[in-house]
Structure 1
Amino acid sequence: MTPTLMAYGALGLAIVCEVTGSSLLALSQQFSKLLPTIGMGLFFVASLFFLSHALKVLPLGVAYAIWAGVGMILTALVGLVVFRQSLDVGAMVGIAMIVGGVIVMRVFSTAGGH
Structure 2
Amino acid sequence: MSFHWLVLLAAIAVEIVATAALKSAVSAPWLIGALPLVLIGFSFILLSIALRVIPMAVAYAVWEGVGIVGIAVIGHLLFGEHLTAGRALGLASILGGILLIENGVGHGRKQDEPVAEGRLV
Task: Please tell me the TM-score bracket, short chain as reference.
Answer: 0.7 to 0.9
Indicate the residue corresponding to 2:118 in structure 1: none
* SS of residue in 2 equivalent to 1:85: coil
What percent of counterpart residues are identical? 30
- Name the count of aligned residue pairs: 108
Counterparts of 1:110 and 1:64, CA distance in 2 = 12
**Structure 1 length as normaliser, TM-score?**
0.84
> Which is worse superposed, 52-61 or 85-94?
85-94
Indicate the residue corresponding to 2:49 in structure 1: 53
Contact kept? 2:57, 2:105, Cα under 8 Å: no
Query: Deviation above 6 Å: which 4+ runs of structure 1?
Result: none
Indicate the residue corresponding to 2:18 in structure 1: 21
* Counterpart check, 1:90 vs 2:83: no
Contact kept? 1:54, 1:63, Cα under 8 Å: yes
Structure richer in helix, relative to its length: 1
**Structure 2 length as normaliser, TM-score?**
0.79
Deviation of 1:110 after TM superposition, in Å, equals 4.9
Q: How does 1:29-108 map to 2 (within 5 A)?
A: 29=26, 32-34=27-29, 35-106=31-102, 108=103
* Counterpart check, 1:8 vs 2:27: no
Contact kept? 1:8, 1:54, Cα under 8 Å: yes
RMSD, matched Cα: 1.9
* SS of residue in 2 equivalent to 1:82: helix
Q: In structure 2, give the amino acid aligned to 1:50.
A: L
* Counterpart check, 1:109 vs 2:104: yes
Q: In structure 2, give the amino acid aligned to 1:18.
A: E
Query: Over residues 57-79 of structure 1, what are the superposed CA-to-partner deviations in whole Å (9 max), with x where a residue is unaligned?
Result: 11111100010100000000000
Deviation of 1:101 after TM superposition, in Å, equals 2.0
Larger Cα Rg: Structure 1 or Structure 2? 2
* SS of residue in 2 equivalent to 1:102: helix
Q: In structure 1, give the amino acid aligned to 2:43.
A: S
Indicate the residue corresponding to 2:119 in structure 1: none
